[in-house]
Amino acid sequence: NTGAADAKNLKVKLVLLGDSGVGKSCIVLRFVRGQFDPTSKVTVGASFLSQTIALQDSTTVKFEIWDTAGQERYAALAPLYYRGAAVAVVVYDITVPESFKKAQFWVKELQKHGSPDIVMALVGNKADLQENRQVPTEDAIEYAEKNGMFFIETSAKTADNINQLFEEIAKRLPRAPP
Ligand code: GDP
Ligand code: MG
């Protein structure tokens, strides 16, 4: 499902899933525009953004990023949204245990109904709020390992690990043989 233009220039649909408020839109805004605006919640909502990154082997990956406008509240609509996605980024908030539970729900959903070769990343966002942490890193590592997912903790606020997240995803994309 990697919509490859050619072997060296990949184009992939990436969706974000996770509870409302975990920071999905802020992660996208940080990655695409290098900004963090704690007040821009609604305006980022419905947008479709793209960003291209270059890897060391001179492959380029163009991410076509689908950010929800609050559809995450309606599980029944989700299949329309993640259909054909090569990448799913499942986000929770390290300060909100329920959001980690919800992330696990989305992982199961994607395992059942997503593309068989989908690349999944588990992201613990708001890592800057260490003093309010409620989800231990080890729990997430264990869950991600069991489910064959890449895991990383990020902060859209400080930009910590945001570029790394997308670089690691890019490295894990299935490649067409040269
Ligand atoms: P979404 O509903 O998942 O798209 O979440 P938003 O991106 O709209 O973010 C929800 C709220 O969390 C906003 O008030 C953001 O300012 C805040 N937020 C997002 N990412 C971070 C982060 O990394 N650290 C902190 N401290 N706040 C964040
Ligand atoms: Mg949002």
* Length reported for the chain: 178
| Chain segment 20-62, per-residue pLDDT in tens | 899 999 999 999 989 898 776 544 444 678 999 999 888 999 9
E strand residue ranges, the chain = 9-17, 48-54, 60-66, 87-93, 119-125, 150-153
Q: How far is the CA of 151 from the centre of ligand 2 (A)?
A: 20
Tell me the helices (H) and strands (E) count for the chain, helix number first. 6, 6
* pTM of the full structure: 0.92
What does the alpha-carbon distance between residue 90 and residue 156 come to, in Å, rounded to a whole number?
A: 15
Whether 144 has a pLDDT exceeding 90, the answer reads yes
Is the confidence metric ipTM above 0.90 for this complex? yes
Decide whether any atom of ligand 1 lies within 6 Å of the 39 Cβ.
no
Which ligand 1 atom is the nearest neighbour of the CA of 36?
16
- Ligand lying nearest the CA atom of residue 31: 1
Coil, strand or helix at 160: coil
- Ligand lying nearest the CA atom of residue 73: 1
Cα–chain center distance at 156: 12
Decide whether any atom of ligand 1 lies within 6 Å of the 99 Cβ.
no
Which ligand 1 atom is the nearest neighbour of the CA of 41?
8
